[in-house]
Amino acid sequence: MTDVVEEDCPVCNSSEDAKAQFARAKVAEHLKEKARRDEAHRAWVDEYTTNGTLAEIREALDEQGHPRN
C-alpha cells in the first residue's frame, strides 16, 4: 500500500516525468525572478507569456520542450 502512495506522491516519485516537472517548476521560478531585474529574461517571459505568471511560464517551457532531464 505504501508503494502506491509513494508512486503518486510528487516528492517521492522519482519517475522521469516527475523529475521533468520539478525541473520545469524550478526553471519557471528562475525565469520569473530573473525577469524582474534582467532584460534578457524579461524579454523571454514577454515573448512566450501573456501575463508572466508561473503557470504561463511552465506552459511555455512545456511548449518549448525545456527542460527535459
Per-residue pLDDT tens over the stretch 10-57: 566 566 677 778 888 899 999 999 999 999 999 999 999 999 999 999
- Calculate the CA dihedral of residues 7, 68, 46, 38 and round it to 10 degrees: 100
| Angstrom distance (rounded) from CA 4 to CA 67 | 27
Q: Is the pLDDT of residue 9 over 70?
A: no
Which residues contact residue 37 at a Cβ distance below 8 angstroms, ignoring those fewer than 6 apart? none
What confidence category does residue 68 fall into, taking pLDDT thresholds of 50, 70 and 90?
Answer: very low
Which residues contact residue 20 at a Cβ distance below 8 angstroms, ignoring those fewer than 6 apart? 67, 68, 69
Please tell me the predicted confidence (pLDDT) of residue 1.
46
User: 7 vs 57, which has greater pLDDT?
Assistant: 57
Q: Give the gyration radius of the chain's Cα atoms.
A: 14
pTM over 0.85: no
